[in-house]
Amino acid sequence: MVSFGEAPLSLLVRRCGIQIAALSALVLTAVTAHAAVPPAEKPAAAAKPSFQQKPSFQQKPAFQQKPLLPQKPAAQAKPAAPVKPGMPVTPGAEVKPSKRPGKSPRIADNFAPISFALVKGPADACGPGCDSWIAAEGKIDGGAAARLRKVLKLVGDRKLPIYFNSPGGNLEQALAMGNMLREKKASVRVGRTTVRECGFESQEGDVCTKLKQSGRELHGEVWTRGAMCNSACPYLILGGTVREIAPDATLAVHSPRVILNYTGGVPPPEVRAKALQAAMARSDKMVLDYITRLGADPGLLTVARSVPFEGMRILTREEIVRFALDRRDRVESPWMFEAASRGIAYKTILSREEGKGTFRTTRLQLVCFDQDRFELDVERNAAVGVAGGALSMSSGDVRLNFLSPPRRSGDRETWGVFMNAAQIRSVAAAPRAELSDALLNVARPGALTFAVGSEGLETALKKLTDSCPPSKAVVYPVNVPVPWTQVSSPQMPSPQVSPPQLSSPQASAQPDH
């Protein structure tokens, strides 16, 4: 039997008085499934002089160890060695029958079967007023839909968002899960959850997986950076009535793979070809009916079919909107803290102007030199055909001017500004900050504003401050700029930077209002 995405099609062919049953199964998955191929008790027919591949049980043991086989037809791939049970199978190559099915390699070997856990986090952990969610982690296996049904029954009428982090898996199970989500009118997102109760155990390990499947409420945090929803996973996302894909999450698709499962012997090539076509047609109809019923764009399947099974195509934000996976024109992640080589707080914004099809990416990053000295960087698409400009930020009583000109790399530019602890705390306390962008070479100069939300900044700032070295009490002479650049910054080489004055708006160009 085939363990993933079964789509059986029976074909009966008479050959030398023997009936041969061919079962085809289609797999749309990030996991390569290997069909079990039981041998026939007797050869279905005598071997032909053209040296067609024989079932492995008919080959002599001595030949199985040789690096090369006898001559084969030119249309067949020539492997470097005979395919043995347990060896990797080249995609597209024929799998020969064997007495015992071998374990095939899987792309998602490091992922446990998908589990569903009720998780509670800090206040606003999953958005304003949201502190609890359902974490869906792992590959979609044959029992995924049953486990989702169980957790939805346990949740009852509670309106909890579901965060998926999955490499893909069983197509039919994914579609069944999507139908459940639509019936439940669920909110679905892409994010990875770290459960505190797992301690130092791997989040994907057996111990943590059993804990997530226990049904009791756990505690943790949800992250969108590095989260994925690949292969069959984007189809189940379509089932949610509210679909929110974070700007730093990844959705990817690829073609399905058809695997034949033979009983009674290997049928002729023309029979295998018809079985492959029939299985693919069945799968396409199943997916298209599902997409149409949910009111989404069938172009998602078209893009998926254009990518070989061995590869993966990451969807652009424009495609995510076009395929109705998330139709928002502006997507903003909350501020998050990450303890990398040095602590950083960051957020990402994807936006596009009304009437324009291309999204612009804006990334903000906050680092510290000590607990009273911070640097805020804004990386964005560089303006085209603009000779100069000025960028400032205002939030409540705080107004700061970024160093000009910005640092440029290709079609990206990065603006930097230095802040003290009081200033960044004031920005975090306000609901949002405004970036004002003045272009100096336009016919009618004016400031263009860009809103930046402060969701999550207070929590991220506290974690960042705790990771910073203590501030040093240094008294500087009056009217002398604080020498921030004496401490090297990873974003900006010190020798090229002139010291800014935090309290002097006149230190850099002012935008026209």
- Are 350 and 448 members of one domain? yes
- Residue 386 has a pLDDT of 62
How many domains does the chain fold into? 2
337 domain residue, yes or no: yes
Q: What is the phi-psi region of residue 396: left when phi exceeds 0, alpha when psi lies from -120 to 50, beta otherwise?
A: left
Asked if residue 369 has pLDDT above 90, the reply is yes
CA torsion, ordered 493, 499, 503, 509, to nearest 10 deg:
-80
1 domain residue, yes or no: no
- Residue 437 has a pLDDT of 85
| Gap between the terminal Cα atoms of the chain | 70
User: Are 158 and 187 in contact, with CB atoms under 8 Å apart?
Assistant: no
Q: By percentage, how much of the chain surpasses pLDDT 90?
A: 51
- Residue 152 has a pLDDT of 94
Asked if residue 85 has pLDDT above 50, the reply is no
Asked if residue 10 has pLDDT above 90, the reply is no
- Structure tokens given for 10: 């029976």
Residue where a domain stops, chosen among 223, 254, 285: 254
94 domain residue, yes or no: no
Asked if residue 218 has pLDDT above 60, the reply is yes
- Residue 335 has a pLDDT of 95
- Are 249 and 379 members of one domain? no
Asked if residue 194 has pLDDT above 80, the reply is yes
Tell the burial category of 12 from Cβ atoms under 10 Å away from its Cβ (0-12, 13-18, 19+).
exposed
Q: What is the CATH number of the domain that holds 414?
A: 2.60.40.1880
Q: What is the 3-state secondary structure (H, E, C) of 84-111?
A: CCCCCCCCCCCCCCCCCCCCCCCCCCCC
Packed helices 269-293 and 171-184: angle between N→C axes, nearest 10 degrees: 10
What's phi and psi for 421, nearest 5 deg?
-65, -40
- Are 227 and 359 members of one domain? no
Round to whole Å and give the CA distance between 213 and 209. Answer: 6
Packed helices 457-467 and 421-429: angle between N→C axes, nearest 10 degrees: 160
DSSP letter string, 208-245: HHHHHTT-S-EEEEEE-TT-EEETTHHHHHTT-SEEE-
- Residue 269 has a pLDDT of 86
Asked if residue 236 has pLDDT above 70, the reply is yes
- Are 370 and 250 members of one domain? no
**Residue type at 56?**
S
- Residue 440 has a pLDDT of 52
Tell the burial category of 67 from Cβ atoms under 10 Å away from its Cβ (0-12, 13-18, 19+).
exposed
257 CB-near residues (< 8 Å, 6+ apart) = 26, 27, 28, 29, 32, 33, 91, 309
Rg (CA), the chain: 29
Q: How many alpha carbons lie under 13 Å from residue 38 in its C-beta half-sphere? A: 10
**Residue whose structure tokens are 């009056």:** 478
- Residue 478 has a pLDDT of 61
- Are 135 and 243 members of one domain? yes
User: Are 44 and 15 in contact, with CB atoms under 8 Å apart?
Assistant: yes
User: Are 28 and 173 in contact, with CB atoms under 8 Å apart?
Assistant: no
Round to whole Å and give the CA distance between 382 and 387. Answer: 11
Round to whole Å and give the CA distance between 497 and 265. Answer: 75
Round to whole Å and give the CA distance between 333 and 347. Answer: 6
- Residue 183 has a pLDDT of 95
Round to whole Å and give the CA distance between 462 and 337. Answer: 9
Round to whole Å and give the CA distance between 4 and 142. Answer: 7
238 CB-near residues (< 8 Å, 6+ apart) = 178, 290, 291, 294, 296, 324, 325
Residue where a domain stops, chosen among 254, 287, 322: 254
Per residue in 336-358, pLDDT tens?
A: 999 878 899 999 999 998 767 89
Q: What is the CATH number of the domain that holds 134?
A: 3.90.226
Asked if residue 3 has pLDDT above 80, the reply is no
- Residue 26 has a pLDDT of 40
Asked if residue 79 has pLDDT above 90, the reply is no
Packed helices 144-155 and 171-184: angle between N→C axes, nearest 10 degrees: 20
- Mean pLDDT, rounded, of the chain: 75
Mean local confidence (pLDDT), 220-249? 95
- Are 382 and 466 members of one domain? yes
**Residue whose structure tokens are 């930077």:** 497
Asked if residue 232 has pLDDT above 70, the reply is yes
Mean pLDDT lowest among 40-49, 324-333, 338-347: 40-49
Q: By percentage, how much of the chain surpasses pLDDT 70?
A: 67
As a residue count, the chain comes to 513
Residue where a domain stops, chosen among 254, 276, 299: 254
Mean local confidence (pLDDT), 203-230? 90
156 domain residue, yes or no: yes
- Structure tokens given for 374: 């911070």
- Residue 153 has a pLDDT of 93
The strand order across the sheet containing 313-314 reads: 228-230, 250-253, 313-314
Round to whole Å and give the CA distance between 103 and 33. Answer: 9
- Residue 267 has a pLDDT of 85
226 domain residue, yes or no: yes
Kindly indicate the confidence band of residue 297, based on its pLDDT and cuts at 50, 70 and 90: very high
66 domain residue, yes or no: no
Instruction: Give the rounded distance of the alpha carbon of 301 from its chain centre.
Output: 18
Mean pLDDT lowest among 34-38, 229-233, 246-250, 257-261: 34-38
89 domain residue, yes or no: no
Among 92-101, 335-344, 473-482, top mean pLDDT goes to: 335-344
Kindly indicate the confidence band of residue 106, based on its pLDDT and cuts at 50, 70 and 90: very low
Among 13-22, 38-47, 398-407, top mean pLDDT goes to: 398-407
- Looking at residue 56, the DSSP 8-state letter turns out to be G
303 domain residue, yes or no: no
pTM, 2 dp: 0.71
- Are 235 and 336 members of one domain? no
- Residue 279 has a pLDDT of 85
Segment (H or E) for 173 = helix 171-184
Mean local confidence (pLDDT), 440-454? 68
Mean local confidence (pLDDT), 448-471? 93
User: Are 303 and 315 in contact, with CB atoms under 8 Å apart?
Assistant: yes
Instruction: Give the rounded distance of the alpha carbon of 205 from its chain centre.
Output: 20
Asked if residue 58 has pLDDT above 70, the reply is no
Mean pLDDT lowest among 445-454, 478-487, 496-505: 496-505
- Residue 109 has a pLDDT of 55
Print the domain residue range for 188.
115-254
Per residue in 130-163, pLDDT tens?
A: 999 999 999 999 999 999 999 999 999 999 999 9
**Residue whose structure tokens are 């809103």:** 451
- Residue 161 has a pLDDT of 97
